[in-house]
């Protein structure tokens, strides 16, 4: 028909009637094929749209989340089959993955298959029952479910108005935890203090150091920064040094005071007092003291009451870092380790270490929240709101470094509710008993020695050298650590105390049982025998 009309319009004589009908039929057939092709292509596009993972679809979420939970459950069920310490070489993953992201969506099952085949070999399994290296990073069903809910709600609770429940639950649950630890009332929210969840202990010490710095600058003048001095033992966590660097405290004004075996590597009050006196005499300004309950190297416990007394006499901000060992202090028999916390201005513990709360959840309490707020608050127009302007709510953005923050209190709340105090205490005690058991095993083998008395669930020990030579002994223990970790059966870490290279064995993962401790000791004995040339255990 189109050809016929076109011919008429340009004055060309039409073909015969037969030819015209033939042309019309051919044109209609061609048009039919085109329409059919369009329908088929449209159906393909429609089907593709149905199969593509949408940004958020309730039914797709339900289907794929079930698959992911099954994957994770299977992982935990089979976690003992993996080498604890990843055995891959640097750069392994680049050889296994494409150079660029895909143009078209891939299937979720294909991604899971790649995780199983390519990602898990490069994972060091922190939740393995044979993990005895660094301080633990606990996971639990309750913590995982809280993390899942937090991810699902996906709020950014920087101020009260952005999600009132996020702020108010955090205030309440940190008061709960403070009461379990029997912290002084000054740390609770009804007073001038309160608690806040930071990402890590590194963030906690940074924010209180900044608050202390600004308090002293207001007191002594902004040009006195170069005179401010911070104190801690040489066993304090390296995060304090980083906090000083970020806070502009001169490196030469960071006093990491010597400790030794005479105090089990705890900070001596006499050494602290001497250092402070010298600095004051030199015209410097002592402003910050950080004490540790459970140091990383050996779980040394600094004497809080004596140190706090010195801090108070010199009007120094006193911070207590109990990142690892704070969890144990919910047990009455270990609470005495934080006696003297009443003298502190701030106190920190990591619920994500030994308190069954998935990373990250580092809890910080302060006696004077206004010090944090004065140092860290910002109030741009786009964040102003009636509740904040009326000073009737907590805005946690002013208690931390970043603006944004996750709904982390959900997982801590679930841990406290779904396990309860008695079960949490039993959990802590079981790990300490396993560590005692390991300490006894080491003591029975005369080839080894315990370096410092065990306090919590960390045992510090080393293999003795038959040549009685320090350098050779250090190398021997270095080689033992490499040999043990290379087996993939267990994972340990090391430290150095008074020039001695020693091994750290810390119990703290949720799945660890006594049989895992016994098996780990067997690996250590076997590898020691090989290094010593076949000498058997006594």
Q: Give pLDDT tens digits along the chain (538 positions).
A: 333 333 333 343 444 454 555 565 666 666 666 666 555 555 554 454 566 888 989 999 999 999 999 999 999 999 999 999 999 999 999 999 999 999 999 999 999 999 999 999 999 999 999 999 999 999 999 999 999 999 999 999 999 899 999 999 999 999 999 999 999 999 999 999 999 999 999 999 999 999 999 999 999 999 999 999 999 999 999 999 999 999 999 999 999 999 999 999 999 999 999 999 999 999 999 999 999 999 999 999 999 999 999 999 999 999 999 999 999 999 999 999 999 999 999 999 999 999 999 999 999 999 999 999 999 999 898 999 988 888 899 999 999 999 999 999 999 999 999 999 999 999 999 999 999 999 999 999 999 999 999 999 999 999 998 877 888 999 999 999 999 999 999 999 999 999 999 999 999 999 999 999 999 999 999 999 999 986 555 5
**Pairing assessment for the beta strands 346-350 and 317-321 based on DSSP bridges:** parallel
Where does the chain hold its CATH 3.40.640.10 domain(s)? 157-419
Where does the chain hold its CATH 3.90.1150.10 domain(s)? 426-534
- Give the model's pLDDT for residue 149: 96
In CATH, what is the architecture of 157-419?
3-Layer(aba) Sandwich (3.40)
In which region does residue 22 sit, left (phi positive, over 0), alpha (psi from -120 to 50) or beta (all else)?
alpha
**Pairing assessment for the beta strands 500-506 and 458-463 based on DSSP bridges:** antiparallel
User: Which among 314, 293, 257 has a CA at the least distance from the CA of 456?
Assistant: 293
Residue with tokens 């701030």: 346
Q: What is the pLDDT of residues 145-162, one digit of tens each?
A: 999 999 999 999 999 899
The rounded distance, in Å, linking the Cα atoms of 132 and 126 is 9
Q: What is the pLDDT of residues 237-291, one digit of tens each?
A: 999 999 999 999 999 999 999 999 999 999 999 999 999 999 999 999 999 999 9
Where does the chain hold its CATH 1.20.1340.10 domain(s)? 59-127
Say which residues have a Cβ less than 8 Å from residue 251's Cβ, sequence separation at least 6: 244, 245
- Give the model's pLDDT for residue 536: 54
The rounded distance, in Å, linking the Cα atoms of 432 and 429 is 5
CATH number of 59-127: 1.20.1340.10
Say which residues have a Cβ less than 8 Å from residue 111's Cβ, sequence separation at least 6: none
CATH number of 426-534: 3.90.1150.10
- Give the model's pLDDT for residue 18: 47
Q: How many residues does the chain have?
A: 538
* Cα Dmax for the chain: 119
- 193: tokens are 């203090």
The rounded distance, in Å, linking the Cα atoms of 4 and 12 is 9
User: Which among 86, 157, 79 has a CA at the least distance from the CA of 124?
Assistant: 86
The rounded distance, in Å, linking the Cα atoms of 521 and 529 is 12
- Predicted model pTM: 0.87
- Give the model's pLDDT for residue 22: 57
**Pairing assessment for the beta strands 448-450 and 228-233 based on DSSP bridges:** unpaired
Per-residue b or e along 507-535, where b marks 16 or more CB atoms closer than 10 Å to that residue's CB: bbbbebeeebbeebbebbbebbeeebeee
Residue with tokens 């649950």: 173
- Give the model's pLDDT for residue 285: 97
Burial class for 154, CB neighbours closer than 10 Å (0-12, 13-18, 19+): exposed
**In the β-sheet with 448-450, what is the strand arrangement from edge to edge?**
448-450, 458-463, 500-506, 493-497
**Pairing assessment for the beta strands 362-366 and 194-198 based on DSSP bridges:** antiparallel
């Amino acid at each position: 028909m189109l050809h016929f009309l076109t011919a008429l319009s340009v004055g060309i004589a039409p073909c015969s009637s037969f030819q015209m009908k033939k042309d019309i039929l051919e044109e209609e057939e061609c048009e039919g094929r085109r329409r059919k092709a369009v329908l088929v292509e449209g159906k393909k596009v429609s089907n593709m749209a149905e199969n593509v993972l949408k940004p958020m679809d309730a039914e797709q979420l339900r289907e794929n989340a079930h698959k992911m939970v099954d994957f994770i459950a299977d992982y935990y069920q089979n976690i003992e089959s993996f080498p604890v310490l990843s055995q891959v070489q640097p750069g392994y993953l680049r050889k296994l993955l494409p150079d660029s992201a895909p143009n078209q969506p891939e299937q979720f099952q294909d991604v899971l298959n790649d995780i199983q085949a390519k990602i898990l070999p490069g994972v060091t399994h922190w939740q393995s029952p044979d993990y005895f290296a660094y301080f633990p990073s606990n996971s639990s069903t309750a913590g995982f479910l809280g993390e899942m809910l937090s991810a699902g709600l996906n709020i950014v609770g920087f101020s009260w108005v952005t999600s009132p429940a996020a702020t108010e639950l955090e205030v309440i649950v940190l008061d709960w935890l403070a009461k379990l630890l029997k912290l002084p009332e000054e740390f609770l929210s009804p007073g001038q203090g309160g608690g806040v969840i930071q990402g890590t202990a590194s963030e906690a010490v940074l924010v209180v150091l900044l608050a202390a710095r600004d308090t002293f600058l207001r007191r002594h003048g902004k040009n006195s920064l170069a005179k401010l001095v911070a104190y801690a033992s040489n066993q304090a966590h390296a995060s304090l040094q980083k906090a000083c660097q970020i806070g502009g405290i001169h490196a030469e004004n960071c006093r990491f005071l010597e400790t030794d075996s005479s105090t089990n590597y705890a900070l001596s009050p006499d050494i602290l007092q001497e250092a402070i006196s010298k600095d004051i005499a030199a015209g410097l300004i002592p402003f910050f003291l950080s004490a540790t309950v459970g140091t990383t190297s050996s779980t040394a416990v600094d004497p809080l009451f004596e140190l706090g007394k010195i801090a108070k006499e010199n009007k120094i901000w006193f911070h207590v870092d109990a990142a690892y060992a704070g969890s144990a202090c919910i047990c009455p028999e270990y609470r005495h380790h934080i006696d003297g916390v009443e003298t502190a201005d701030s106190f920190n513990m990591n619920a994500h270490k030994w308190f069954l709360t998935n990373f990250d959840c580092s809890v910080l309490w302060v006696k004077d929240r206004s010090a944090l707020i004065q140092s860290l608050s910002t109030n741009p127009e786009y964040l102003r709101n009636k509740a904040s302007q009326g000073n009737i709510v907590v805005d946690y953005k002013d208690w931390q470094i970043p603006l944004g923050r996750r709904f982390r209190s959900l997982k801590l709340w679930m841990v406290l509710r779904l396990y309860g105090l008695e079960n949490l205490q039993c959990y802590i005690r079981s790990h300490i008993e396993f560590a005692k058991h390991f300490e006894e095993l080491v003591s029975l083998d005369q080839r080894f020695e315990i370096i410092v008395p065990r306090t919590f669930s960390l045992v510090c020990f080393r293999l003795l050298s038959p040549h009685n030579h320090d350098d050779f002994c250090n190398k021997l223990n270095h080689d033992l650590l490499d040999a043990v970790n290379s087996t993939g059966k267990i994972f340990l870490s090391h430290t150095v105390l008074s020039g001695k290279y020693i091994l750290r064995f810390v119990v703290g993962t949720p799945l660890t049982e006594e049989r895992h401790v016994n098996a780990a000791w067997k690996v250590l004995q076997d590898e020691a025998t090989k290094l010593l040339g076949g000498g058997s255990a006594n």
